[in-house]
Structures are given as structure tokens and as C-alpha cells.
Structure 1
Amino acid sequence: MSDDDTFVGDDDSEFFTVLQGRRRNVLNDRYMLPADEDEIRRYSYHHRILQFIFGGRNYVGPVKEVLTYPGVKHKRRVLDVGTGGGLWAIEMADEFPRVEVTGVDLAPIQPREVPPNCSFELCDLDHPSLPYTTLNYDVIHARSMHTGIGNYQQFVKELTRMLRPGGILILIEPDSQPVVDGHLLGIPPHDPCSTVTSTLGKRPHTSYASGAPGWFALWEAYRTCLQRKGIDVNVPSHLGAIIRQTGAYDHIRVQEATIPIGFWPKDVTLLTIGQLAWMEYDHLLPAMRPMLLEAGIPEWKVKVLIEDAHRDMYEPVMPPSVRMHVVHAIKK
């Protein structure tokens, strides 16, 4: 294809439509969250939360070692699938100026002015075969995008095909199962010599819905909508198993963190994370509205679901959390 065929100019209106008052992508009917300014802002909060969890870095695993190892003759490349607002790809390009970083998303919502070694592409990743070269990438990063993928196992197989031997696959997915408790876990600093699969601490206990009825009701409605769209809502907690099923990886490390949502943590770092998560979810809850309405839920009920969930977040009887699943693995 020529540059004219693939270049997105100043007028990108053909890549968007409006659904229930919110702008969204036109490439994938399965992914229902918006693609507008409020959603870009939410992406930025989500990005900063993960940086705090990873100790100020943008990644887990020996990414720096892979991208800076001397004596490698091929051009090193990073692929960020589901790049969203593009912050991760841009910051990786800044950190590794000799590495070619490509971000892929459903909509052109990324900045136009980016580092010279960073570029963005449009692609619907919800297909059995992806238009990317085999054995071409040293690091592939995919986060918070399983809600747009009908067959996540096949998706991981495609990412594996595209990854070079010795390359790193990083998968990060938040759980949609509602959690309200005070058990907080963090991801410890990366041990580059670690070769074992591990789970951080014990699984937090999910409290009774009576402590946050609005919070539980909204998330259960959201999960039902995802299932009707053909989404496996259990993917986040099964990331490790999905990677193992490929048989293509060594050194698989499975980690889990429970992120506070709100201003209730006493620890200064956790309080900062909780504040960022509060701002993210303050944007996420109304972003669910188009999906809930398209699923046939009456508008008055959608309004009540979102308002009640907001109330449980603003004035928590039992403070909410979100469980984050993180896996990185090295290809054989």
C-alpha cells in the first residue's frame, strides 16, 4: 500500500462513529469503550498506576537487557498492541532511542508529534491472523485489551508467532470481578535471574455484595454485557495458563496486585495509587453507559447502576479495589 493509503491526516473522522453520545472506533464492534478525550485521560491515569506498581518503570522482566544486549545485528523492535493513548509506546521510545517502537490500536487517538523511533498504526487485533511479520519483535506488550478480543488464546498464539526467540511477552489485564476489601498486594522489584512461575501472596477475599451493592451490580451487568459480546471474562486470571498452553515460553512469571480505589490507604505510595485509580474509575463508570444501553438495559436502569456504583466509590462503606494480573514470559 502507498503512503497515501496508510497515512492518517488531520481529518480522521472516518475512523470514528458516535454511539450513545460518546465517540468510539469503527473497526471493532466488540470493543465498546469510547475513543474520545475523556477516555484518553482515563488511559493516562491507568498508565501512571502501572508505573507506580512497577517501581517507576514501564515494564516487568528483563526488557532492558533484551533491548540493549550488545552484539545483536538485527534492528530491535517493540510492539505495543492496544496502545490506547500511546503513552507507553512514546515513553519506551524515549528510553530506548535505538529501538523501533510501534503502537497499534483501533482508533487514531495518539499524539501526532512523537519521537522519531515511534510510530502508530491502526489494526483490528480481533482476528485469527494478524498482519505482522513472523519473528520480528523483541518485546511485545499488551495490556487492558482482552475486552476487545473474542479468542484470546488465538491472540496470544499470534503474538507468539511475531516474537523472536529470547523475546519477552508482557500481558497485563485488570479483573472485572468486583472486589471490596482492604488486602493490598504490590508487585516486588524485578529479579532478572528469576526463572520460576510465582503468584504474589494470597488471593484477596471478595467481600459480600451487601457492603457495596451498587458497585457489585454495575460490574455484574458489565460482565454480562461482555459475555454477550463473546468475551471470556475469566481471561485476566488465566493469563499464565494461556501462555503455558502455547508451549513456546520459558521463565513464565505470574504476578497479581490488588489496587486500592479511593483515598483510604494509609501508606503514602498506596494512597497515590488509590487517588489515580479513583480518577480512572470516575471516568470508566460512565464510559460503560453505551455498552449497557446497547445491551438493551433501559436508560433509567443504566443511570441508576452508574449512580449507585459512583456512590459506593465516593462514600465507601467497604472500600473498593481492582485486581491486576501481570505476566511476563521469555520465548524459547
Structure 2
Amino acid sequence: MASPLATHEAGPASSPPAAPAVAAATPQAEGPIEVEPESTDEADSSYGDQVTTFTASLTSSLVNYPIEHGRQYHAYRAGSYPLPNDEPELERLDMTHQLMLAGLNGRLYLAPVDMEKVQSILDVGTGTGIWAIEMGDRFPNAEVLGNDLSAIQPHWIPPNVKFEIDDVESPWVYSKPFDFIFSRYMAGSILNWPAFVQNVHDNLAPGGWAEFQDYDGEWYSGDGSLTASHATRTWMNGLIEAGNKLGRDPQPGGKLEGWARAAGFANVAHRRFKFPIGPWARDPHLKRVGLWNITQVLEGLEAFSLRLYCDVLGWKEDEVVVLLANVRNELKSGKIHAHVELHVVYGQKE
């Protein structure tokens, strides 16, 4: 998303800043729209300059990132995603990508997609674009499109990869369906999950596949080492409470299969993976996964928490800093043997 709720690369969060005042819409009269008289100045006879000016203005509005709680956040549909989009967060997102690869044994996806036949791929909430870029490298004959609320993707990308700024909860207006649609750690980012999953289904070509990878937002401890008295438990409970207050489900993982079936997907499969938080597992593979996981968690504590705790739960910033210091100390102690569950659900459009 990655984060305890999810990272994302596309998703929600605090109370959005007040929108600029907008004049009331002018009622449209009946009949045809009048055409502005053509200018006699040859230099003004095309739309080129107007389009260029408008594009520059629009681009500025998309990347004029606000600064809150000492972190930078996205500008487009401000407030719809709680995590920052600054350099430290981009590094954490790429780190989380490596966590996912480690946890899934190096696989970018699990769906039984025949990539020799796939021509178009959509990466929903692409974040830094790292998944889309790797898919573009591995499958040069497929066109890969990644969308996100933030224009944070790199400029040097494979020729078959493109990125766009979009809100996945706006109407989908793609001109043709996709062969494969991928969505990863969108927990805490979506207002209407059933509608989102339905959109994914409806924008697939017949026979196409979709895959959802997401967390259930809870941390578990099989040996009882994570208790209600720990600051870590208080912290996790607060993140879940804030996500629910926003109406953006912070625990979608276990519900993905039901949403996929309700949307009409066939051949639905649901797999669960335990990701330790810390290198405490005996198994070498899980130990490596745990090391990746605790590294990205420690890196992202402030990113996960500041907007949700301050703007949604009403905490003071210094109170959040104290809580996170205690969480950091507990996690670094190695005494908490917690894990989070990743749910991978994929299905096919008939």
C-alpha cells in the first residue's frame, strides 16, 4: 500500500482542505451552443496556445503538493488518501514492493495469466510505478498502464509503459477493455469496495483476469507476545478506527473473495500469506520476509499515522510522536512476534 492498513500506491485519509470557492453553474439555455466568432488575427486562429496554457495550469494543480505535519501529500482529490507522496514515502513504497516479491517467492502476480496472449494490462493505484515497470520489462509485447492520484512515477520507463493521474473511484472511461487488471494494497483507500471490484470486472475483456492483493489490517501474535498493554496494539487499533471513521475499509483482505464472486468473476481463487513483522521466524524464508516487513514499517510509522491520528482521531502531533516512539522501541526490541496476513484473490471474466 505495505502499510499496516495498506500502502498505495492509490488511496484516503484526513479531512481534505477546504475547496476553493466555485461560482454557481450557469444554467444552460435550450438550443445549440453558440460559436465564438473566429479571430481575424492569424496567430489566434488555432487552439494551440489555449491548450498549452490550460495544460500548464492543470499540471500545476496536480503537482502543487500540500505540506501537512511536515510531510508532502498528493494534490489531486486532496484528502482521499492518507499517506504522503514525498521522497521518504516513495522509498518505502519501493521497499514494500520488494517485501511483496519476497513474500510471494519472486512472483509479481499469482493469477494463471497467459502472458503470450495478453496485450493490455492496468495497474490500479500504481504508486511509484515499480510493478508496472517490471511488468513492462518482462512482457515487452503488452501495453501496461498505471494510474494513481499522484504524479510520482519516473520519466525513464519502458516504451510499452504509460502512467496517468486518475481517481479509481471516478467513472471508468477506458476506450477498450484490459486483458489483466492488477490491484495491490489499497486498504484504507477505497470508499466503495464492491463498486470498485465491479468496475474492475466490467473493464476486463472476456477471458481476462484480475488480481487483488491486500491486507486485513490486523496484527496477530500466535504466542501472545503482542498484548493490549503494548503501545503497538494501541497504535494499530487507532489506525483501524480512523480508517473506519473515514468510511474507507482498512481491512479489505478477507472480504475480497466475496466481492469478486458478487461482481461476477469466475474461477476465483483465494490464497493467504503470513508476513512476519521482524526477523523472528525460524524459517529462513519467513525470516527474510520479516526483515523486509519491519524495515518498511519502521520507515513508515509517521507516514501511516500523522494524518489519521491528527486529522481524524483528533490527537495532538506531539502525542502521536510519543506513541510512535514507544511503538518503535517495542518493535526494535524483538520481543513482539507479530505477523500480518496478506490475501491474494484472483478471478476471470467469462
- TM-score w.r.t. the length of structure 2 is 0.79
Residues 99-248 of structure 1 correspond to what in structure 2 (within 5 A)?
99-127=142-170, 129-133=171-175, 136-181=177-222, 207=224, 209-210=226-227, 213-246=230-263, 248=264
- Most deviating of 254-263 and 292-301: 292-301
CA distance in 2, matches of 1:57, 1:104: 21
What is the identity, as a one-letter code, of the residue corresponding to 1:49?
L
Q: For residues 39-90 of structure 1, what are the alpha-carbon distances to aligned partners after superposition, in whole Å with 9 as ceiling and x for unaligned? A: 1111112111211222212110112x1x203xxxxx8100001101111000
Q: Secondary structure at the match of 2:218?
A: coil
| 1:132 shift after superposition | 2.4
* 1:51-66 matched pairs, under 5 angstroms: 51-63=101-113, 65=114
Q: In the TM superposition, what is the alpha-carbon distance from 1:18 to its structure 2 partner?
A: 1.2
Quick one: distance in 1 between partners of 2:318 and 2:125? Answer: 32
Which string of whole-angstrom CA distances, capped at 9 and with x for unpartnered residues, describes residues 108-138 of structure 1? 11111000000110001233x223235x100
**Equivalent in the alignment of 1:186:** none
Structure 2 residue runs of 5 or longer lacking an equivalent are: 1-46
Residue matched to 2:65: 16
Number of the residue aligned with 1:189: none
CA contact (8 A) 1:48 1:276 kept: yes
Structure 1 unaligned runs (5+)?
Answer: 70-74, 183-206
Structure 1 counterpart of 2:151, which letter?
Answer: P
Aligned partner letter, 2:75:
V
Name which of structure 1's ranges 48-57 and 105-114 shifts more when overlaid on structure 2: 48-57
Q: Taking structure 1 as the reference length, what is the TM-score of the superposition?
A: 0.83
Query: What is the match of residue 306 of structure 2?
Result: 289
2:18 corresponding residue in structure 1: none
Looking at structure 1, the residues matched to 56 and 162 of structure 2 have their Cα atoms a distance apart, in angstroms, of 11
The answer (yes or no) to whether the contact 1:181–1:318 under 8 Å persists in 2 is: no
Q: Does the alignment pair 1:279 with 2:322?
A: no
- 2:74 corresponds in structure 1 to 25
Which 10-residue stretch deviates more, 165-174 or 210-219? 210-219
Query: Once the two structures are superposed, what CA deviation does each residue of 1:199-232 show, in whole Å capped at 9, x if it has no partner?
Result: xxxxxxxx47527611110011111111111112
Q: Is the 8 A contact 1:256 1:323 kept in 2?
A: yes
What pairs with 1:30-45 in structure 2 (closer than 5 Å)? 30-45=80-95
- Distance in 1 (CA, whole Å) between partners of 2:161 and 2:56 is 15
Residue 82 (structure 1) aligned with residue 98 (structure 2): no
Larger Rg belongs to:
2
Contact 1:133 1:162 in 2 (8 A): no
Q: Residues 257-287 of structure 1, C-alpha deviation per residue, up to 9 Å, x if partnerless?
A: 1101112123222222111111110122111
| Contact 1:214 1:311 survives alignment (8 Å) | no
Cα gap change, 1:91 to 1:6, in 2 (>3 Å): farther
Distance in 2 between residues matched to 1:212 and 1:315, nearest whole Å: 15
3-state DSSP of counterpart to 2:150: coil
Change (3 A) 1:266 1:234: closer
From the superposition, tell whether residues 120 and 212 of structure 1 become closer, same or farther in structure 2 (CA, over 3 Å).
farther
Paired with 2:243 and 2:64, the residues of 1 have a C-alpha distance of 23
- Worse-superposed segment, 258-267 or 106-115: 258-267
Does structure 2 conserve the Cα–Cα contact (< 8 Å) formed by 1:212 and 1:318?
no
- CA distance in structure 1 between the aligned counterparts of 2:61 and 2:144, rounded to whole angstroms: 22
Amino acid corresponding to residue 143 of structure 1 in structure 2: R
Partner secondary structure for residue 31 of structure 1: coil
Q: Is 2:343 aligned against 1:301? A: no
For 1:119 and 1:285, the matched residues in 2 are separated by 31
Amino acid aligned to 2:93? Y
The 3 A distance-change label for structure 1 pair 243 and 8 is: farther
Determine the structure 1 residue equivalent to 2:283: 267
Distance in 2, matches of 1:88 and 1:51, equals: 10
Q: Share of identical aligned residues, percent?
A: 28
Task: Measure the CA separation in 2 of the matches of 1:86 and 1:62.
Answer: 22
8 Å contact from structure 1 (residues 16, 23) kept in 2: yes
Check if 1:252 corresponds to 2:268: yes
CA distance in 2, matches of 1:270, 1:212: 26
Q: CA RMSD in A?
A: 2.4
Residue of structure 1 in register with 2:44 after alignment: none
1:216 to 1:84, Cα distance in 2 relative to 1, 3 A: same
Tell me the secondary structure at the aligned position of residue 66 of structure 2: strand
